[in-house]
C-alpha cells in the first residue's frame, strides 16, 4: 500500500504549515510575557495550557519541515520578547485575548482541514482544532464565572414561521428600515468586540514600541478601531440594542520595551487580515443594503492600512516571505 505521508506537500498544506509556525512562535513570545506577569491564579493555568500546546505545535511543525527538507521559518524567538518586562495588560484583558485567540485558531484550523489531504497533516490539524476548542471552553467558562463575559443582545423568540414578501427587506437607505436580523446583530456585535480588543492591544503595543514610524502607525490603527466601533455601535443603538463596552483600562502605564517592533507589526497586520475577513463575511450575511454598504466602505480603508503596515515591515526587513510558486519567466530568461 502506498505511504501517503510521502506524497509531496500541496500548496495549501505548505501554506498552512508555514502560517501555523508563524502564529505559534508569536504566541509563545506573547504568552511567555503574560505567564510571567499574571496575578490571577485562575487565569494562570489557561495561559500555561496555551503555551504548552503552542510549543508542542512548533516541535511537530519542525518535524514536518525536516522531513520535507523545507527550510524552517524564522518566525519569532526569545529575541522578540522580554518576558520579565513590567506587566502591560490586565489579567482580565489577557483572558479576553485568549478567547479571541481561540476563535481565530478554530477558524484557521477548520480552513486548513478543508483544504489539506495528507493523513499526517490532517491528524495534526485535528489536534490543533481540539486545542483551540478546549481553549474556547476554558476561557469562556472562566469569563462567565468572573462576570467579564459580555453576552450578545437578546431578541424576542419568533411566534411563527414567515417568508419575505417585499423588497423592502433589502433596503436601508431611504424610507422605513426593517429591524435587524439576528445574523446581522451577530456580526455587528462580533466586529465591535474584535475592534475593542484590537484597540486595547494597539494602545499597549504603542506604549512599548521603539520605532517612531511604528508608533505613528499604531496610533492610526487606534483611531480606525475606535471609528469602526462607533459606527457598528450606532447601528445597534438605533435598534435599541446594547453594544459592548470599551476596555481601554485594560492597559497598564508601562512604557518599557516588551516586544520587538517586528513582532508588534506582525501581530497588528495579522489582526487586520482577520478583520478584513470578518467584514467580508459580515457583508455577505447582511441583506440590508445600508449595513452591507457600510462594511464595503470600511474594507478598502483597513486594506490600505494593512498595505501601509506591510510597507513598514518590508522597509525594515521584518517581513518573512511565505512559500511561493516558481517564477517560470525568470527561470526561462535566466
Return the number of other C-beta atoms located less than 10 Å from residue 85's C-beta. 16
- Residue 260 domain flag: yes
Task: Please name the residues in contact with 200: beta carbons below 8 A apart, sequence gap of 6 or more.
Answer: 89, 93, 246, 247, 248, 250, 251
Per-residue pLDDT at 333: 75
pLDDT tens, 45-94?
Answer: 999 999 999 999 999 999 999 999 999 999 999 999 998 899 999 999 99
* Residue 290, strand partner residues: none
pLDDT tens, 147-206?
Answer: 988 888 888 888 887 777 665 555 655 556 778 889 999 999 999 999 999 999 999 999
pLDDT tens, 131-155?
Answer: 999 999 999 999 999 998 888 888 8
Q: Measuring CA to CA, how many Å separate 56 from each of 46, 51, 140?
A: 15, 9, 23
Pair 185, 132 in one domain? no
Pair 24, 96 in one domain? yes
Pair 96, 31 in one domain? yes
Pair 118, 179 in one domain? no
Mean pLDDT of the chain: 91
Q: How far apart are CA 205 and CA 167, in angstroms?
A: 46
pLDDT tens, 221-239?
Answer: 999 999 999 999 999 998 8
Identify the domain containing residue 180 by its residue range: 173-315
Per-residue pLDDT at 146: 94
Question: For the domain that residue 18 is a member of, what is the CATH number?
Answer: 1.20.1260.10
Pair 192, 95 in one domain? no
The 3-state DSSP class for residue 178 equals coil
Place of cell 492610526: 220
Pair 296, 192 in one domain? yes
- Residue 255 domain flag: yes
Per-residue pLDDT at 178: 78
Convert 15-53 to b/e letters by CB count within 10 Å (16 or more is b): bbbbbbbbbbbbbbbbbbbbbebbeeeebeebbebbbeb
Degrees (nearest 5) of the Cα angle 31, 33, 37?
A: 115
Pair 139, 15 in one domain? yes
- Residue 60 domain flag: yes
Pair 301, 238 in one domain? yes
Count of domains in the chain?
2
What is the grid cell recorded at 28? 509563545
Most confident of 142-146, 240-244, 329-333: 142-146
Amino acid at each position: 500500500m502506498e505511504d501517503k505521508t510521502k506524497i509531496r506537500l500541496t500548496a495549501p498544506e505548505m501554506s498552512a504549515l508555514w502560517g501555523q509556525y508563524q502564529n505559534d512562535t508569536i504566541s509563545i513570545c506573547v504568552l511567555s510575557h503574560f505567564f510571567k506577569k499574571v496575578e490571577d491564579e485562575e487565569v494562570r493555568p489557561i495561559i500555561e495550557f496555551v503555551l504548552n500546546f503552542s510549543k508542542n505545535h512548533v516541535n511537530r511543525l519542525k518535524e514536518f519541515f525536516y522531513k520535507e527538507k523545507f527550510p524552517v521559518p524564522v518566525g519569532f524567538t526569545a529575541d522578540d520578547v522580554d518576558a520579565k518586562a513590567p506587566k502591560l495588560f490586565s489579567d482580565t484583558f489577557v483572558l479576553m485575548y485568549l478567547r479571541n485567540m481561540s476563535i481565530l485558531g478554530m477558524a484557521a484550523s477548520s480552513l486548513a482541514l478543508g483544504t489539506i489531504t495528507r493523513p499526517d497533516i490532517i491528524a495534526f490539524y485535528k489536534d490543533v482544532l481540539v486545542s483551540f476548542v478546549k481553549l474556547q471552553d476554558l476561557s469562556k467558562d472562566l469569563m462567565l464565572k468572573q462576570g467579564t463575559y459580555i453576552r450578545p443582545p437578546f431578541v424576542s423568540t419568533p411566534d411563527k414561521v414567515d417568508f419575505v414578501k417585499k423588497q423592502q427587506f433589502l433596503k436601508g437607505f431611504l424610507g422605513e428600515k426593517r429591524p435587524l436580523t439576528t445574523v446581522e446583530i451577530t456580526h455587528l456585535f462580533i466586529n465591535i468586540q474584535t475592534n475593542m480588543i484590537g484597540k486595547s492591544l494597539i494602545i499597549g503595543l504603542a506604549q512599548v514600541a521603539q520605532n517612531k514610524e511604528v508608533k505613528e502607525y499604531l496610533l492610526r490603527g487606534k483611531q480606525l478601531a475606535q471609528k469602526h466601533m462607533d459606527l457598528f455601535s450606532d447601528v445597534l443603538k438605533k435598534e435599541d440594542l446594547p453594544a459592548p463596552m470599551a476596555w481601554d483600562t485594560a492597559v497598564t502605564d508601562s512604557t518599557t520595551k516588551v516586544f520587538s517592533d517586528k513582532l508588534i507589526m506582525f501581530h497588528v497586520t495579522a489582526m487586520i487580515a482577520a478583520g478584513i475577513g470578518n467584514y467580508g463575511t459580515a457583508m455577505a450575511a447582511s441583506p440590508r443594503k445600508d449595513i452591507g454598504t457600510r462594511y464595503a466602505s470600511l474594507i478598502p480603508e483597513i486594506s490600505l492600512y494593512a498595505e501601509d503596515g506591510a510597507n513598514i515591515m518590508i522597509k525594515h526587513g521584518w517581513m518573512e516571505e511565505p512559500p511561493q510558486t516558481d517564477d517560470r519567466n525568470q527561470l526561462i530568461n535566466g
